[in-house]
Amino acid sequence: MKTGIQHLILKEVILKNLIPRITIIIVTLFLAFGCTEIKMMQKLNSGEAVIQDEIDITVPFDLRGHAIIVKVRINEHPKEYNFILDTGAITFINEETANELDLEQGTEVPTWNDTVKARLVETEIISLGNAKVKNLTTIMFDFVKYTGFQKIDGFIGSDFLRFFKVTIDYGSKALTLSLDTEPIRSVDEGYLLKIKKPLPLRAPMVECRINETFTSDAMIDLGSPHCVVLPLSLLDKLSGEDIPLIKSIGIVAKWPQSTTDESCLSRIESLKFGDFEIENIPVIIADVNDILLGEDFLSQFLITINYPAKQVLLLPLDNMQFKHNMFSTGLALEKDDDNRTVVKGFWEGSPADKSGIQVGDEIIEINSINISELALFEISSILKNDAVSAIELLINSEQGEKRVTLKKETLLPELK
């Protein structure tokens, strides 16, 4: 069995407004055994916050789909780079950006593919606004080549954030990093939870209780677009309960450590964190290691993660509302190597399934728009918009071109 240290999961990059509900790419770095592993872990335990007069530093962010985009400077270079903020990742830099900055390159890191090269790189200082961390060792690889994200230069992960109290305000699109990391003693509003920060990712984990029957740790993962993802390993604990299970056809949700394409759409009776409870919440069940709490869940709160104090405060927004069903065509799309938009998978029994669409079919038009003129996040916005009740597609399949209209439906059984 491989340990979390042997499997350094650099990140699941799942941009829901780029490709709905599917994984574009996941980079898994496998650390070797023995001395090499120890040396790498020492490197990845590097970094130190720069102490300064300004205690609370607030910076704006943009949202691209679910992804939080922040402006980052490296080694006091005047150019600002676009990084994704992701609590479920470690910090890494695109190879082209690292070369542009002439960063010192270190040990080559084995990857999931012999053709993909990654190295440790040394940084003197990384600045997110005036929040600065010095001497942080990061990972470099050709991010753009393997994702196609031309305007993303890297990720800011929990190895950077671990020095701060971090507040994410989705409503104001503002990120605050504070050097005031004294523990929060009590709160009049919201839910104060303890977190764990297991190596190597240091991603914040909270304990949750499912259906009042068992507890498990859940990752606060800003990089996941889904509301809640449960590991397939929990199916045995859920098997005795009356829950709906809708299987995937093709690939709808998959992660790098996944050994199967299988995933399910379901709904659980309750999900509880301390005194906070959500009832009848849809979940995706997939081959992941941990429960994942993604953007659809986290954006319902003003979130404060006090990394040094090992606390998270969830303050519900006034308009907080969790859905009890999924209103969807059930269709999952992706871009292939030739930049064609193709069907990656769909949920069994969904409008996409009943239409006769097949995995691998090419989409030419969506709602009379040439799909080649649309960015993936624009395509996803159409598919996910609850105000759009029907999707008209021009499809190129083995039988030739045809038009298909998908009328969105609620995919899970209605609550009694």
Evaluate the CA torsion angle 96, 99, 103, 109 in order and state its sign. positive
> Which phi and psi (to 5°) does residue 37 adopt?
-65, -45
126 beta partners: 74, 133
Instruction: Output the pTM of the full model.
Output: 0.85
According to the model, what pLDDT value does residue 373 have?
83
Looking at residue 178, the DSSP 8-state letter turns out to be: E
What is the identity of the amino acid at 361? D
For residues 193 and 306, what is the distance between their CA atoms, to the nearest angstrom? 10
> What is the model's pLDDT at position 254?
75
pLDDT digits (tens, 9 = 90+) for 218-227: 999 998 888 9
Q: In the predicted model, is pLDDT for residue 289 greater than 60?
A: yes
In angstroms, rounded to a whole number, what is the distance separating the alpha carbons of residues 179 and 298?
23
**20 near 333, Cβ under 8 Å?**
yes
Distance CA 318, CA 2 (A): 43
At residue 274, what are phi and psi to the nearest 5 degrees? 55, -120
Q: Three-state DSSP class for 38? A: helix
Here the tokens at position 78 are 């005047």
Candidates 211, 204, 225, 101; CA nearest to 158 is 204
Angle at 309 between CA 304 and CA 312, to 5 degrees: 30
Task: Find how far residue 113's CA is from the centre of its chain.
Answer: 22
According to DSSP, the residues that pair with 367 across neighbouring strands are: none
Instruction: Please give the angle made by the CA atoms of 360, 14 and 128, to the nearest 5 degrees.
Output: 150
Per-residue pLDDT averaged across 11-34, rounded?
Answer: 35
Residue 20 has pLDDT above 60, yes or no: no
pLDDT in tens, 149-160: 557 899 999 999
Taking 70 as the threshold, does the pLDDT of residue 305 lie above it? yes
pLDDT in tens, 182-216: 998 888 899 999 999 887 778 999 999 999 999 99
How far, in Å, are 85, 224, 239, 290 from residue 173 at the CA level? 12, 17, 40, 28
**In angstroms, rounded to a whole number, what is the distance separating the alpha carbons of residues 69 and 154?**
10
Domains of the chain, first to last: 7-178 (2.40.70.10), 195-316 (2.40.70.10), 327-410 (2.30.42.10)
Taking only the tens place, the pLDDT of each residue in 321-335 is: 999 999 999 999 988
